[in-house]
Structure 1
């Protein structure tokens, strides 16, 4: 059963070495992520699953100890998804960037509260499939927690990665409202096509969360909402 979730953005810029001179611009987001992870720890989970956007679904499962790297972003920073349970137990395939950011956040606070697994979710995965994945995750242990990585739209300004789209701000506002209220139905009903057009990488992971949260009766809190660089970043907790 899902007992808690933290929703965090997944830009590699959260890692100060990647952001370099602009690192301070995301200090508030990092602080909010730390607070959200505290909610996960307080829930005393038996299992933590980190879910984030990836190029493919299904094959995107990563065991505890899986490696991640930010070398592709020009810095020599490496992370692990928790401590390997046994030598050689971690997969050879490296974590996708979204899960590497999640691993960095967990490593930053010294997570040792529960076993960890990672799951990459293909961004085009249909909502009903995402929801079913979430339902399946919720049955994995008596007390399951989720760290859900993903960004809102990338079209909030003229200089945004997806240029300015007038639909972006209303879309992000509804996502922020739904995540802040732990509104399972609203998250399940997010428009996948619109999310794709707005380059909102979090849509599929958020709908995995919604599927996992069905019937759990969780309440939500929105800890951070902003759009630096024209990309919507949200931090929320469900508990």
Structure 2
């Protein structure tokens, strides 16, 4: 059963080495992510699953010890999913979102439970997301999720997706749902609209909603902002 979840954004800019001179601009978001992971540690799970968006062909499961890299962003920095001492041989590298998740876990010194990764392709239909979440919630008696994903990337004219007037209402609806642990509201997020607004969080959030069915968790929104015109949210469910 799902005991706790932390929802964090997953831009590579969250990693100071990638952000370089702009790193201080994400300090508040990083601090909120640290607080959110503290909630996961306090829950003392038997299994932690890191869920994040993945591109076509990059989804699926990733065992503990899978390596990720930020070399594609010009930084010689590697991470591993979970304890390096238990590294598992894997042919595939972590997708970018899960690499950010692995970095967050390393940064906070996670050593509380086995860790697995799940890359969710952004085209995954809401009903399939919910079904995947139910399966995750049933993996162990005490399951926690680290859920990675961003809101819209269309909040300003300088945003990656330019300005779209639908972006702010979409992000506001997602933030309200995350703050209230509102499962129906998360599951009602429109997949086509999310793709149009370049929101990578829709599928992972809906997986979270499926995993939380019957868990009766309370939500808390720790951070919401749109630096660089992209909606970033940090929340906890416990």
User: Per the shorter chain, which TM-score range?
Assistant: over 0.9
Aligned to 2:201: 202
How far residue 85 of structure 1 moved from its aligned partner, in angstroms, is 6.0
How far residue 209 of structure 1 moved from its aligned partner, in angstroms, is 0.2
Aligned to 1:27: 27
> Residue 117 in 1 paired to residue 116 in 2?
yes
Q: Is the 8 A contact 1:45 1:145 kept in 2?
A: yes
Aligned to 1:4: 4
Superposed CA deviations along residues 115-154 of structure 1, whole A, max 9, x for unmatched, are 0000000000000000000000001000000000000000
TM-score by length of 2: 0.98
Structure 2 gaps, min length 5 = none
Aligned to 2:130: 131
- Rounded Cα–Cα distance in structure 2 between residues aligned with 1:143 and 1:56: 31
Judged with a 3 Å threshold, the aligned counterparts in structure 2 of structure 1 residues 183 and 220 are, in CA distance, closer, same or farther, namely same
Q: How many matched pairs?
A: 238
- Rounded Cα–Cα distance in structure 2 between residues aligned with 1:75 and 1:210: 34
- Rounded Cα–Cα distance in structure 2 between residues aligned with 1:57 and 1:182: 30
Q: 1:67-146, aligned counterparts within 5 Å?
A: 67-84=67-84, 86=86, 89-146=88-145
How far residue 90 of structure 1 moved from its aligned partner, in angstroms, is 3.0
Aligned to 1:38: 38
Q: CA RMSD in A?
A: 1.2
- Which structure 1 residue ranges, 4+ long, deviate > 3 Å from structure 2? 56-59, 84-87
Structure 1 gaps, min length 5 = none
Superposed CA deviations along residues 13-44 of structure 1, whole A, max 9, x for unmatched, are 00001000000000000000000000000001
Superposed CA deviations along residues 79-105 of structure 1, whole A, max 9, x for unmatched, are 000124656x23121000000000000
